Chains A and B, each alone.
Chain A
Amino acid sequence: DSGVTQTPKHLITATGQRVTLRCSPRSGDLSVYWYQQSLDQGLQFLIQYYNGEERAKGNILERFSAQQFPDLHSELNLSSLELGDSALYFCASSFRRGTSGSDTQYFGPGTRLTVL
């Protein structure tokens, strides 16, 4: 168990809909990352938050947005869903205050999104 939790585990929805994926980082971790894993594009970085602030953006579509709340949990919002958005969405966390070194990212179990 990595200590990162994600809900829901599975999500099935229709095209055009909007969904919210939730992530709770490991206790004390300040950084949250969102990744998308799809068959055709592999594992891709979407967006990073650090202590409530957006830190970096990757290949995130304009239809997607995220935020990190004061309690450090994060939500990824996906809107106007298309068939191609079907994927496994991972949240990862890292960086506990006062630590140094590898800044290893620990991944949650993922949310499998199916768009029909």
Chain B
Amino acid sequence: AQKITQTQPGMFVQEKEAVTLDCTYDTSDPSYGLFWYKQPSSGEMIFLIYQGSYDQQNATEGRYSLNFQKARKSANLVISASQLGDSAMYFCAMREGPGRRALTFGSGTRLQVQP
């Protein structure tokens, strides 16, 4: 079974609107971390946001928030007030177990922000 599933290969959003990128995960480990990364066309991987399995509140970082629904095993990324510079690939990733472990990545969602 896929550990991380991103079901939206591509998404379009109008500038200044909000968009939700879906991510579901599969693990039996009670301790895990969920991450979102952005990969612009230039290729670098940029860390956006983190949610720990024991965190009680949804993570937020500026215009990014993570809609964490533990029972449903989903960790959707919400980008508010989209900007043209948000056009990129977005990857959801999971670390199973406590820190200092490798990440498993989803297949990514390509987001295009339209003016």
- Residue B25 is within 8 A (CB to CB) of chain A in the complex: no
Report which of B35, B45, B99, B104 forms a contact with A90, defined as CB distance below 8 A.
B45
- The contact string, 1 if C-beta is below 8 Å from chain A, for chain B 38-64, is 000001111100101000000000000
Beta-carbon contact of A88 and B108 below 8 Å? no
Report which of A88, A95, A102 forms a contact with B52, defined as CB distance below 8 A.
A102
Beta-carbon contact of B95 and A42 below 8 Å? no
CB-nearest residue of chain A relative to B55? Answer: A102
* Interface of chain A: mostly helix, strand, loop or mixed: strand
| Given A102-B33, A102-B50, A102-B52, A107:B45 Cβ within 8 A | yes
Beta-carbon contact of B91 and A43 below 8 Å? yes
Interface size for chain A: under 10, 10 to 19, 20 to 34, or 35 or more residues?
20 to 34
Contacts of A48 in B (CB 8 A): 100-102
- Residue B90 is within 8 A (CB to CB) of chain A in the complex: no
Beta-carbon contact of A55 and B100 below 8 Å? yes
Beta-carbon contact of A104 and B35 below 8 Å? yes
C-alpha gap A48/B97 in the complex (Å): 15
Beta-carbon contact of B102 and A50 below 8 Å? no
C-alpha gap A2/B37 in the complex (Å): 12
25 A-B pairs whose Cβ atoms sit less than 8 Å apart in the complex = A2-B46, A33-B103, A43-B105, A45-B104, A48-B100, A48-B102, A56-B101, A56-B102, A58-B102, A90-B45, A92-B45, A92-B103, A95-B100, A100-B99, A102-B52, A102-B99, A103-B33, A103-B101, A104-B50, A105-B35, A105-B47, A106-B47, A109-B43, A110-B43, A112-B43
B residues neighboring A (CB under 8 Å): 33, 35, 37, 43-47, 50, 52, 91, 93, 95, 99-105, 107-108
Q: Other than the known A2-B47, A108-B44, what 9 A-B pairs have Cβ atoms closer than 8 Å? A: A42-B108, A56-B102, A92-B103, A94-B100, A102-B99, A103-B100, A105-B103, A110-B45, A112-B43
